[in-house]
Amino acid sequence: MPAWLQAPAPQPPSLPGGYGLALLQSLLALAAICILAWVVLRWSAQRRLFGAGAAARIRVLERVFLDGRRVLYLVRVGDRTLLLGAGESGPPAVLATLEGVEDLTVPAPVPPRRFGDVLRAFGGRKTETNAGAAHDAREEA
């Protein structure tokens, strides 16, 4: 076969920095997307874009988990207070309509814990308040 009929061997496409640079670019892009998603979610949560606002007509006053599959809800709908039961077997059911409970208010929200506090509690480190309590307990003994 003549040389001019032979096709040259295809060369694999080369990356400008090798696979290490491609991996680094992918990780940086993933980190940028995660940071952007976090910022958007925080911004929308502060402005209550995706949840019930302060003027909502339906409010969940309390939620009690009975086990992994069943939950009781105390719900205020307008001027009525309902006790709802929910489980995995079907839609929530009205268990009772409570009368004379107008003085029920929404409990004060629990302030969110900071990530560092959760890590310290998980790791068993003593914070200043825990260390002081432990010191007081030793003095009493």
Question: Is residue 85 in a domain?
Answer: yes
| pLDDT of the residue at 141 | 47
| pLDDT of the residue at 52 | 53
CA distance 85 to 71: 6
Q: Which among 74, 91, 70, 92 is positioned nearest to 83, based on CA atoms?
A: 74
Dump pLDDT digits (tens) for 6-34. 777 777 666 566 788 889 999 999 999 99
47 and 65, same domain (yes or no) = no
Domain assignment of residue 23, given as a range: 16-51
- The total of structural domains in the chain comes to 2
Return the structure tokens found at 35: 């940071």
67 and 86, same domain (yes or no) = yes
